[in-house]
Structure 1
Amino acid sequence: LATTIHGRAVRVPEDFARPLALDLARLRVAVTADFGFAPTERHIAEVFSEKVGLFREVFARADDATPDCRDADEAFEILRAVSFLANHLEKVRTRPGDVGPNVRANVEEGLRYSAEDVARAEAMQTALYRRWQDFFQNYDVILTPSITISPRAWTELYPTQIDGRKLRSYFHWLALAYAVTLAGHPAVSLPVGRDRNGMPFGLQIVGPRGGDAFVLSVAAALETLLAGDPRTARPVPDLAALKAAPPISNSPGFLELA
């Protein structure tokens, strides 16, 4: 996802090893299940609302609000497909058997776009970025689900529909992530209990541009707060059951989906 953002980040691990203490009661928080456009599963939206409802009172403000993400789907689709040309075009042409159907489809899509299409996508990304900066004048953090669906069986290569709604692409279910990628803001996902299917549920914490250390501090403070409630604490996997289960790689059809 980060390949749609120009430039290279400067990372100094020591700067992020120990998040600074932070007072959650001072935060202005925006809460959204879908950024106004993502195809979030109804089940996930409801669980998200229930989870946030358990702790939203700790913040100075917690409003149901979202930055304007118009054109996010189209901009990301174009920029992603074009980036695949740089990374995979040669392989698709010379060693097509070495790449999967999704990669081939993205390369073919990228070849269909013109310079005008790319310029339009970059203009849409810039406009979205500016709207996000305006939004963060009034909020410190955005909370969303980490992903639009509850985890599905590994045999499903990718979701084709959510709640009966046909998806735009094989990566449309990642819209909650690529909205943030397009804006270039830091985000972290925090495990907060399980959903109604018994699967781990993730909370995405999005901060202001350049606020990587701040986002980690928010996540650390929230993790500490939520650890005492089994409804929001990090779920502990049954390692014995996982160890006893046969490897997925031994399942029929695994290599065809890999």
Structure 2
Amino acid sequence: MREIVSWDALELSRAIGNREVSCVEVMEAYLGHIERINPHVNAIVGAQDPEISLRQARERDAQLLRGERLGWMHGFPHAVKDLSEAEGLPWTEGSPLHRDRSGEGDALFVKRLKEAGAVVIGKTNTPEFGLGSQSYNPVWGTTGNAYDPARTAGGSSGGAAAALALRMLPLADGSDYMGSLRNPAAFNNVLGMRPSWGRVPAPGFVPQLSVTGPMARSTADLARLLSVMAGPDASAPLGIPEGPERFRERLEGDVGDARTRTRIAWVGDWNGRLATEPGVLGVCRSALSALETLGCEVTEAVPDFPLEEIWQTFLTWRWWANLERYELYADPRTRKAMKPEAVWETEHGIALSALDLTRAAAARDRWYAALTEFFERYDYILAPAAQVFPFDKETHWPERVGGRAMDTYHRWMETVVPWSLAGLPVIGIPAGFDGRGLPTGVQLIGRPHADFPLLQLAHAYEQVTGWTGRVKPGLLD
């Protein structure tokens, strides 16, 4: 059983496909491992009755006997982030207002995971309404870090990242508006990919900033999970029309050659503009060295655009997005049960005018144009994935970073904002550990829609660093 949960997803897929292990054996191994490990971190919540999960695993085995393998995830246990709907499972978004709500259907990406053979066994924890990079809420409680359960796992995909790092899941899904796939990946020494906006389809005619994406312990697994989640759908009018087939191709690593060296811009703390905890940038710089070892040319540079304007533009878009909860806010009875940060976001959204939104849209266009010019000189951008190391999980959010006061509940995550606003593909990759054994990571940012080349470079980086396999959480011992 211990061996089964230690396999990466592609290894597990091959073992099931070759009939080396049954789907029931896989399910028993994971359920037993979750029973032992999850009480330490509270990453998986709203779990399905184990007997139901085992019955579904037996159905997967019966399908294999009939030659009906559904896909490469056939028989995989999977838990869906509790911001997304999965039929028959709790769908609380971490809010007491939805404590008793269950999914009546599946979100599109969940449907695709099931069609690929996954068995959904529960949910992964998240902050209330996904607000903030600290996965605590009054419904499920707080998720601890895989490397130090007394510290935060980050968020909002904190439960997913911790469960993945602790081998309670072979793969994980997450969503990302403000670093929710990248920040928890950094805090738990795994990989999280924010795909290009529209790569994983979502309904709607407004290009809001949130995307759904994959999390994994290897780039090969990351790409293969993206191949299931991505691809056009009639329900998503603004989705990327390109099919997902390329993400099933083998990753070889793409770092150019002696004549065309891959050029990478390291933005760091934006010339001191971003507050960072001492030690974070030092660990991140080890990623620069690894990329230079591969033959990349890494230069310190930042785009020619005011970072404060990026931040203010982001705030406007986010306030607008949070008006989806206006009806909860409008009723004084339900407003009392809302997280203070949700009330703050909604009240700022109510105050917006059409002119505010028009100006924010224009500023977003200008920022995208500045990045287009920047990518004429650089192939990729590298940035810290977090400005702090994992902090005490009893702390809701850091009020001071590097001696500076934070003026909002999420200012300490500003490093992720520019790339969310531009809709670029980003992979959060491990960078190493500090002297206390706490992990952090970097963001590798690609050109618009260049998701596959980005995965290739991340794969090459992985070959020379191998952080997820080299340093495993102590709880696994």
Same structural fold, with TM-score higher than 0.5 when normalized by the shorter chain: yes
Q: 1:172 to 1:213 in 2, by over 3 A?
A: same
The residue aligned with 1:44 is: 280
Is it true that 1:226 corresponds to 2:460 in the alignment?
no
The residue aligned with 1:74 is: 312
Contact 2:290/2:465, CA 8 A, preserved across alignment: no
Is it true that 1:15 corresponds to 2:251 in the alignment?
no
Contact 2:265/2:378, CA 8 A, preserved across alignment: yes
Contact 2:264/2:299, CA 8 A, preserved across alignment: yes
Shift, 1:54, TM fit: 4.7
Is it true that 1:88 corresponds to 2:325 in the alignment?
yes
One-letter identity of the residue aligned with 2:252: A
Shift, 1:100, TM fit: 1.0
Cα distance in 1 between the residues matched to 2:316 and 2:264: 31
The residue aligned with 1:34 is: 269
Is it true that 1:129 corresponds to 2:347 in the alignment?
no
SS in 2 for 1:42: coil
The residue aligned with 2:443 is: 204
Shift, 1:114, TM fit: 1.9
SS in 2 for 1:148: coil
Cα distance in 2 between the residues matched to 1:22 and 1:59: 12
Contact 1:19/1:216, CA 8 A, preserved across alignment: no
SS in 2 for 1:204: strand
Shift, 1:184, TM fit: 1.4
The residue aligned with 2:454 is: 215
Cα distance in 1 between the residues matched to 2:242 and 2:413: 25
Contact 1:30/1:143, CA 8 A, preserved across alignment: yes
Decide which of 414, 426, 451 is 1:175's aligned counterpart. 414
Contact 1:191/1:203, CA 8 A, preserved across alignment: yes
The residue aligned with 2:425 is: 186
The residue aligned with 1:163 is: 402
Decide which of 367, 391, 394 is 1:152's aligned counterpart. 391
Cα distance in 2 between the residues matched to 1:237 and 1:10: 40
Cα distance in 2 between the residues matched to 1:103 and 1:11: 35
One-letter identity of the residue aligned with 2:475: L
Q: 1:240 to 1:226 in 2, by over 3 A?
A: closer
- Residue by residue over 1:61-105, the C-alpha shift from the partner in whole angstroms, topping out at 9 and shown as x without a partner, is 2111122341111000111011111x2111122322442111111
The residue aligned with 1:62 is: 298
Contact 2:288/2:298, CA 8 A, preserved across alignment: no
Cα distance in 1 between the residues matched to 2:310 and 2:295: 29
Contact 2:283/2:431, CA 8 A, preserved across alignment: no
Shift, 1:52, TM fit: 2.0
Shift, 1:16, TM fit: 1.8
Contact 1:91/1:98, CA 8 A, preserved across alignment: no
TM-score for both structures, normalised by structure 1: 0.82
Cα distance in 1 between the residues matched to 2:442 and 2:411: 19
One-letter identity of the residue aligned with 1:106: E
SS in 2 for 1:78: helix
- Residue by residue over 1:126-164, the C-alpha shift from the partner in whole angstroms, topping out at 9 and shown as x without a partner, is 111100000001111111111111111111111222112
Contact 1:184/1:209, CA 8 A, preserved across alignment: yes
Contact 1:194/1:235, CA 8 A, preserved across alignment: no
Identity of matched residues, % = 27
* Aligned residue pair count: 237
Shift, 1:166, TM fit: 1.3
Cα distance in 2 between the residues matched to 1:45 and 1:212: 26
Q: 1:8 to 1:158 in 2, by over 3 A?
A: farther
Q: CA RMSD in A?
A: 2.4
- Residue by residue over 1:35-79, the C-alpha shift from the partner in whole angstroms, topping out at 9 and shown as x without a partner, is 454333332122222442354243342111122341111000111
Q: Of Structure 1 and Structure 2, which has the larger fraction of its residues in helix?
A: 1
Contact 1:39/1:162, CA 8 A, preserved across alignment: yes
SS in 1 for 2:390: coil
SS in 2 for 1:205: strand
SS in 1 for 2:275: coil
Q: 1:55 to 1:157 in 2, by over 3 A?
A: same
Is it true that 1:195 corresponds to 2:434 in the alignment?
yes
SS in 2 for 1:189: strand
- Residue by residue over 1:10-29, the C-alpha shift from the partner in whole angstroms, topping out at 9 and shown as x without a partner, is 57444323453233253111
One-letter identity of the residue aligned with 1:207: G
